[in-house]
Amino acid sequence: MNSGDKSLYILCEQVGGTTIKLARGMISALVFLARLTHMLLSALRHPTKVKYSTIAYYMDTCGSDAMPIIAMLGCLIGVILSFQAIIQLGRFGVENYVVNLVGTVIVNELAPLVTAVVLAGRSGSAFSAEIGTMKTNEELDALTTLGFDLGRFLVLPKVLALLMVLPGLTIICDVCGIIGGMLIVCTNLNITVAEYCNNVLTVIRPLDLIQGLLKSVFFGMIVAAVGCQKGLSAERDAQGVGRSATSAVVTAIFLIVTADALLTAVFAVLEHA
């Protein structure tokens, strides 16, 4: 076999191996999604079996600890968006529409997206590392031997916690983003704080807020599900735990952006139907 044939063989082998790995990952994700759906339905039918103390713990670690960074990022996003809107809209003499742009874009798109990405980096990787470490230490095997349902014991509390926490963090990001925009708009334009607040309340419709909160619910499901799935499929060594945490963050962010695009398209079609 000459060098050209050998290089082609290696390339085909790498492409085939990557394709098989992706197919196995997709199948594993679909199987886990089916199990997760079954667990959520079972929790609705039997709410007394849910470990509410564990849910409260993860709500505290994922929600309370993330509030400062979410608030700061929301404020900075409002500041940056306002600066850019003033510059771009000022070219056409329509600076008064800066409030419209800042309010709708933050509530509809940026606040849910930024909040989900931050939690993917914080909570998604933490979930994956926690479960992966338990797998490495054979704690998962011990729980299975003792008769515990790993899904109900480990996965379900994390998913329910993020489903309840992420919409609340999104509202905090909304408020801080609007405040950040107010600081710049009221400083650089001839608009008072009362006028700014009145314009924001006029521009932001209840439908816009509902769309942002619905997106945050989907994003919370993605972050928690991906983090737990990557942890359960991690290899039984330290490097495997690290790779699973990294993969959880990358996969969750990709799925969040993809879901955001799809949901935005669906809401646009429904709104104009």
**Is the residue at 125 inside a domain?**
yes
The answer to whether position 232 is within a domain reads yes
Residue 23 lies in a domain: no
Q: Which residues span the domain enclosing 122?
A: 52-271
Residue 252's alpha-carbon distances to 40, 78, 187, in angstroms, are 20, 24, 38
Residues 76-93 pLDDT 10s: 999 999 888 888 887 877
Confidence category of residue 5, pLDDT binned at 50, 70, 90: low
- The verdict on residue 16 lying in a domain is no
Query: How much helix, strand and coil, in percent to the nearest 5, is found in the chain?
Result: 90, 0, 10
Provide the number of structural domains found in the chain: 1
**Model confidence, pTM:** 0.87
Taking only the tens place, the pLDDT of each residue in 79-131 is 999 888 888 887 877 777 888 888 889 998 899 999 999 999 989 899 999 99
Residue 199 counted as domain residue: yes
Q: Which residues contact 159 (CB under 8 A, 6 or more apart)?
A: 36, 39, 40, 220, 221, 224, 225, 228
User: pLDDT tens across 223-237, in order?
Assistant: 998 988 888 888 888
For residue 191, pLDDT over 60 is answered with yes
Confidence of residue 273 (pLDDT cuts 50, 70, 90): low
41 or 220, greater pLDDT: 220
Domain-embedded: residue 1: no
User: What does the block give as tokens for 266?
Assistant: 């669906």
Residue 40 lies in a domain: no
45 in a structural domain: no
